[in-house]
Amino acid sequence: MLTLQTFIEKINSRTGFTGFLNYGEPMSRHTSFRVGGPADLFIRPDGGIFPAYAALLMESARNEGVPLFILGGGANIVVSDTGIRGVVLDTGGWHGAAAEGAELLVRAGTPVDDAVEAAAAAGLGGLEFLAGMPGTAGGAVWMNARCYEKSLSDVLAATEILDESGARLWVPARPEDFGYKKSPFQNRRVLILQARLALRKRPETEIRREMEERRQDREARGHYRYPSAGSAFKNNRDFGKPTGKIIDELGLRGLACGGAQVAPWHGNIIINTGNASASDIRALVSEVADRVKALTGFILEPEILFAGEWDG
Ligand SMILES: Cc1cc2nc3c(=O)[nH]c(=O)nc-3n(C[C@H](O)[C@H](O)[C@H](O)COP(=O)(O)OP(=O)(O)OC[C@H]3O[C@@H](n4cnc5c(N)ncnc54)[C@H](O)[C@@H]3O)c2cc1C
């Protein structure tokens, strides 16, 4: 196998790379939990070269057997303390959102809040529910992000991807392919490039009022008080109540493992109180799930994703 340096120099000399590149980049700088060890090679190509560069990088990684991890805003992942082997491709340089009639075309690396702002400025309603949610548009499509009883798939018309063969194509969004926090891209090794969102005309003042309500609600619910990744576990209709309520009722608020803690004000948020390691977070997720199972029989499914090297 080529060394990573030779691997990337070959690609960069063919593409005229511009952007950010670093060996051993601490992933704690790129996750909302503020944890995670080094990425062997971290690359954020500039927007101007992004699709072509990503296509060549993905093809070369496949051919050479180099592991590749795609990073959005890092708002739903816990990267292990030993970090990520191979290449991390950060989509952050590939950003921008443009209205086309009643649709919004959003590049994957666009922060969700910027997409929401762009829709508001164009007088397009339908994205207000996402105001204040951390992460990128690409991550929101991949996760099928959901809040206030709405999912990203409710407004998704089509997604442009780089598929497993390196082809760049638009995939129409079929409702049957999406579910609660599920998108069809979770079972594939594809890169989401852009999303086409179907919105509707709405007076800008109304849009902004709703956006403000959402942001204030998140603020009041303590979303931004400490580093976290939002909800730690998925909800499940079969439980009959929200997962956070189940955890609350078992008295698990405030439960801690090292620097990781179940938020004292919300059962389904795990926070980094300052010096948490990724292992602390993982241990606490297991501890909460084990206790809930032992006391109620419910099997909780983590919503946060564990990336990088983990035992077991
Ligand atoms: C304070 C707070 C509040 C939150 N509230 C909510 C909420 O209300 N609802 C909700 O659903 N989530 C919420 N989250 C979680 C998070 O914001 C969402 O899951 C978000 O959609 C993750 O996007 P991201 O860009 O950060 O993805 P990342 O965390 O970077 O990645 C998540 C997954 O998506 C993949 N991915 C990312 N971009 C791409 C791409 N372009 N192509 C292919 N794969 C890609 C990654 O490989 C990874 O597997 C919250 C998080 C925080 C910190």
Claim to verify: residue 263 and residue 151 sit in the same structural domain: no
| Domain closes at, from 93, 113, 148 | 93
Claim to verify: residue 129 and residue 202 sit in the same structural domain: yes
CB of 7 shorter than 6 A to ligand 1:
no
231 is catalytic: yes
User: Rounded to 10 degrees, what is the CA torsion of 17, 23, 27, 30?
Assistant: -30
Any domain includes 147: yes
CB of 211 shorter than 6 A to ligand 1:
no
Claim to verify: residue 36 and residue 52 sit in the same structural domain: yes
Residue 311 has a pLDDT of 83
Among the listed residues 153, 231, 277, 279, the single catalytic one is: 231
Any domain includes 2: no
CB of 129 shorter than 6 A to ligand 1:
no
Quickly tell me which residue has 């009041």 as its tokens: 220
Residue 204 has a pLDDT of 98
What are the pLDDT digits (tens) for 25-55?
999 999 999 999 999 999 999 999 999 999 9
Any domain includes 245: yes
On the CB side of 282, CA atoms within 13 Å amount to 18
Claim to verify: residue 215 and residue 107 sit in the same structural domain: yes
What are the pLDDT digits (tens) for 140-181?
999 999 999 999 999 999 999 999 999 999 999 999 999 999
Claim to verify: residue 104 and residue 182 sit in the same structural domain: yes
Nearest atom (ligand 1) to Cα of 193: 41
Claim to verify: residue 128 and residue 203 sit in the same structural domain: yes
Claim to verify: residue 112 and residue 209 sit in the same structural domain: yes
| Domain closes at, from 219, 235, 263 | 219
Any domain includes 311: no
Q: pTM to 2 decimals?
A: 0.97
303 is catalytic: yes
Q: The domain that contains 88 carries what CATH number?
A: 3.30.43.10
Any domain includes 1: no
Claim to verify: residue 86 and residue 103 sit in the same structural domain: no
Torsion sign across C-alpha atoms 183, 185, 186, 187: positive
CB of 19 shorter than 6 A to ligand 1:
no
Q: 3-class SS at 191?
A: strand
4, 72, 106, 114, 140 from 168: Cα distances, Å: 26, 19, 16, 24, 20
Nearest atom (ligand 1) to Cα of 137: 25
What are the pLDDT digits (tens) for 207-254?
999 999 999 999 999 999 999 999 999 999 899 999 999 999 999 999
Any domain includes 30: yes
CB of 162 shorter than 6 A to ligand 1:
no
Report whether pLDDT(1) > 60: no
Total of domains in the chain: 3
- Domain of 228 in residue numbering reads as 224-297
| Domain closes at, from 67, 93, 119 | 93
Paired tokens of 294 = 């032992």
Q: The domain that contains 236 carries what CATH number?
A: 3.90.78.10
Strands 38-45 and 84-90: parallel
Claim to verify: residue 106 and residue 82 sit in the same structural domain: no
Any domain includes 194: yes
Any domain includes 6: no
